Amino acid sequence: MESEHAVSLKLPTFWPTQPRVWLQQVEAQFALKKIVADETKFYYVVSALDQATAAHLIDLLERPPAEGKYTAIKERLLQSFALSRQERAARLLNMPPLGDKKPSVLMDEMLSLLGNHNSCLLFEHLFLQHMPEDIRLVLAHEDTQDLRQLAQKADVLWLSRERNAEFALSKVRQGKPTRSDSKKPSGMCYFHWRFGSDANQCRPPCSFQGNSKAGCL
């Protein structure tokens, strides 16, 4: 029965940068095809290795253990290609800025680095530090132990923030005053009032000078 299921199985080529995710995919395929024999699983994994990875594991491929072949190659792949605890910790501490990613995407990346380790107050703090200040202040008062729920709440605030910014910009483009525009200094365009010397564009008339990125010299 196992050989009948195995005939149609084709594993994706090994992913050196994501060995844990790849092994999860492989084991899902084994479960779907009801493949349980240790040797069968071992040789399927071997057949899915790229040339560089196979060469890296050549000693194991040439002399596999008599028993526990699949466990041996799985552990070897994780040992050789998965990030160590120290490397994952370093990446968590040095996550890049949020940019235009949704908070839930950042949370997924952080939880992936966390792996099987339990989260702690520091992990939540690291996540909040990557949020814009207005979102961080709201979430700081949230009392939840569910990190994904926290990220979903951050998404709601993030999307609302983006919609407000787009609405304000559309009003400026239409030449219609906004509540924020009424507070800006006379003679200065919205972009320079909002972003100062970091503005990448300028809408004349504008009294701001010295920003080469926006063409104000």
pLDDT tens for 142-176 read 777 788 888 888 888 888 876 766 665 566 566 55
- Judgement on whether residues 95 and 12 belong to the same structural domain of the protein: no
Claim to verify: residue 73 and residue 14 sit in the same structural domain: yes
Closest CA to 39 of 64, 10, 4: 64
Question: What 8-state DSSP symbol labels residue 84?
Answer: P
The two structure tokens encoding residue 162:
């983006």
Please indicate, yes or no, whether residues 143 and 197 belong to a single structural domain of this protein: no
pLDDT for position 61: 95
Residues 101 and 166 in one domain: yes
Q: What rounded mean pLDDT belongs to the chain?
A: 80
Shared domain for 40 and 97, answered yes or no, is no
Closest by CA to 124, choosing from 105, 108, 145, is 145
> What average pLDDT score do residues 30-49 get?
93
Q: What is the DSSP letter of 196?
A: G
pLDDT score recorded for residue 1: 41
Which pLDDT score is estimated for 161? 76
Residue 190 burial by CB count (10 A; 0-12/13-18/19+): exposed, middle or buried? buried
Residues 136 and 207 placed together within one structural domain of the fold:
no
Whether 30 and 61 share a structural domain: yes
- Enumerate residues 6+ apart whose C-beta is below 8 A from 140: 128
DSSP character for 189? -
Which residues span the domain enclosing 92? 86-177
Evaluate whether 81 touches 16 at the Cβ level (below 8 Å).
yes
The number of folded domains in the chain is 3
Residue 108 has a pLDDT of 87
3-state percent helix, strand, coil for the chain, nearest multiple of 5: 60, 0, 40
Residue 139 shares a structural domain with residue 114: yes
Record the tokens describing residue 137, joined without a space: 């202040």
Residue 183 pLDDT more than 60?
Answer: no
Give 136 or 167, the one with higher predicted confidence.
Answer: 136
Q: Which of 32-46, 111-125, 193-207 has the lowest mean pLDDT?
A: 193-207
Last residue of a domain, one of 81, 107, 128: 81
State whether 133 and 65 are in the same domain.
no
**7 and 55 part of one domain:** yes
- 32 vs 115, which has greater pLDDT? 32
Q: 39 and 74: one domain?
A: yes
Domain boundary among 42, 59, 81: 81
Q: Is the pTM of this model over 0.75?
A: no
Can you tell me the distance from the alpha carbon of 49 to that of 215, in angstroms, rounded to the nearest whole number? Answer: 53
Q: Which of 56, 81, 106 is the last residue of a domain?
A: 81
For residue range 76-120, what is the model confidence (pLDDT) as tens digits?
A: 999 888 877 788 888 888 888 887 788 999 888 888 887 766 677
Whether residue 17 sits in one domain with residue 71: yes
User: What are the tokens at 129?
Assistant: 């530090």
